[in-house]
Amino acid sequence: MKTAIAAENHQPEELDMLKDEGRAEEGSVSTEHDLGSRGAVHGVSLPEEKFQRDNSVDFMNLPMENTEEEAPPTFKDTKSSKEPADVHSKSLTVSPSFQFKGLNHVAFCCENLEKSLDFYCGLLGLMTSPDRPELPYRGAWLLLGAEGIHIMEVPNPDPVHGRPGHGGFDRHACLNCKNVEGLRQTLEKAGIPYQHSMVPSIFCRDPDGNGLEFIEISPLK
């Protein structure tokens, strides 16, 4: 392929420079390109100087167009960093020297400690522990075998109203018991709403809306 540029509008010094480089001929400047058998010729003529002056355009000094393709924008994949699989794979690379022995306790916020104790101790029959230290807020440790519930009289960040009607669709603590039916009758006599589950268990909420599940466990044989 031949590329020809008309030279009648080139400045003399520009033609001299092109001739020195061996690329100038009479009336034209050409550069040979091999495009196989097509033999295509591409010609570009620069506008006359008068046109450039009348239109205040200098085609010889226009900035070259950037022909490089811009790389497509990249976006941080914030979703993948939250995928459970990624978190699990990272945790599996750690070899802890500790061993978990079970759940120690769960903690619930309450608005009024006495009202909560009436529910947990007066209605459900739980016992409190005398070992709770002096803390900057009122509360109680409720005993559940080797585990427990810590009731704290502190501002509750969770709403009391507007929670799911079924406690199984909300965060909750699950307590083992021997007789779900007996517990159901107790809640019904006290006028406390409850919901059933697919297994022998029921759900209810304490006076502050904290979710509770009571599941019946079979005695060991």
Domains of the chain listed by start with CATH number: 2-58 (no CATH), 105-216 (3.10.180.10)
* Interior angle at CA 189, CA 138 and CA 165, nearest 5: 70
Interval 31-69: pLDDT, tens: 444 444 444 444 444 555 665 566 665 545 555 555 555
- H helix and E strand count, the chain: 5, 12
Interval 177-196: pLDDT, tens: 899 999 999 999 999 998 88
Strands 24-25 and 28-32: antiparallel
Confidence band of 101 (pLDDT split at 50, 70, 90)? confident
The CA-to-CA distance between both ends of the chain, in Å, stands at: 94
Q: What percent of the chain has pLDDT over 90?
A: 28
Q: Looking at residue 5, what is its pLDDT?
A: 45
User: How many residues in the chain?
Assistant: 221
Strands 172-177 and 211-216: parallel
